Amino acid sequence: DAGVIQSPRHEVTEMGQEVTLRCKPISGHNSLFWYRQTMMRGLELLIYFNNNVPIDDSGMPEDRFSAKMPNASFSTLKIQPSEPRDSAVYFCASRPGTVQETQYFGPGTRLLVL
Amino acid sequence: DAKTTQPTSMDCAEGRAANLPCNHSTISGNEYVYWYRQIHSQGPQYIIHGLKNNETNEMASLIITEDRKSSTLILPHATLRDTAVYYCIVRVTYGGATNKLIFGTGTLLAVQP
């Protein structure tokens, strides 16, 4: 199994630009999570999906952030417009079920907004 | 969710056992203890979890006190590759919509050669 796949691995953009982060969960997993990690705030849950349906988006910082999961094998996290304070590492994780919390994390996308 | 308290950092000699403590004095009866770790520049990695019995897998052992107010993660023979931040998380597991992890600041374990 290839594990959770994220792209791009690194992204440098200018303030005001749209940024799209992509995630392919592990096949057969039915839960998907987006996290953000910064030195100041640590690892924060942004949103998660069960069976492609957004369940909890209370961690999404503001309307500039949106996430979609059009099918079981793909999810996107979009920031529009991006700001320097969005600079962070964004992780995607998937989970095989909804009972236990064994989440499998991707390698992350390092985003730098100038 | 019950809050957890972990030391900020610990050192361990290579080849020795690493014992990482976690306090969760407000844990409820249906809350599990989960351990994850994050090696530098990588995503977090699941290690082990338990409810009240001690657990062991190929990576580590988890010892939970009888009153469940604290636990210890044991890496039996630490290697340099075990240097990472270790997160202790207490989470209610009842299936469905509300399952999620809340990561704290964790313990930075530095394995010394």
Query: How confident is the model over A92-106, as pLDDT tens digits?
Result: 999 987 666 689 999
**Across B56-75, average pLDDT:** 96
- Find which of A23, A41, A43, A60 to mutate to test the B interface (most B CBs within 10 Å of its CB): A43
pLDDT of A35 > 60? The answer is yes
Testing the interface with A: which of B6, B46, B92 to mutate, by most A Cβ within 10 A? B46
Mean pLDDT of A17-39: 95
pLDDT of residue B97: 47
- Give me the pLDDT at residue B99, please: 63
Given a cut of 90, whether residue B92 has pLDDT beyond it is no
User: Among all residues of chain A, which has the CA nearest to that of B89?
Assistant: A101
Query: What does pLDDT average to over chain B?
Result: 90
Q: Angle A79-A80-A83 (CA atoms, 0-180°, nearest 5)?
A: 80
Does residue B2 carry a pLDDT above 90? no
Mean pLDDT of B45-67: 94
**Model pLDDT, residue A102:** 86
In sequence order, the 6+-apart residues with CB closer than 8 A to the CB of B4 are: B22, B23, B24, B88, B89, B90, B104
Alpha-carbon distance A94 to nearest alpha carbon in chain B (angstroms): 11
Q: Which of A10-14, A61-65, B12-16, B19-23 comes out lowest in average pLDDT? A: A61-65
Q: How many residues does chain B have?
A: 113
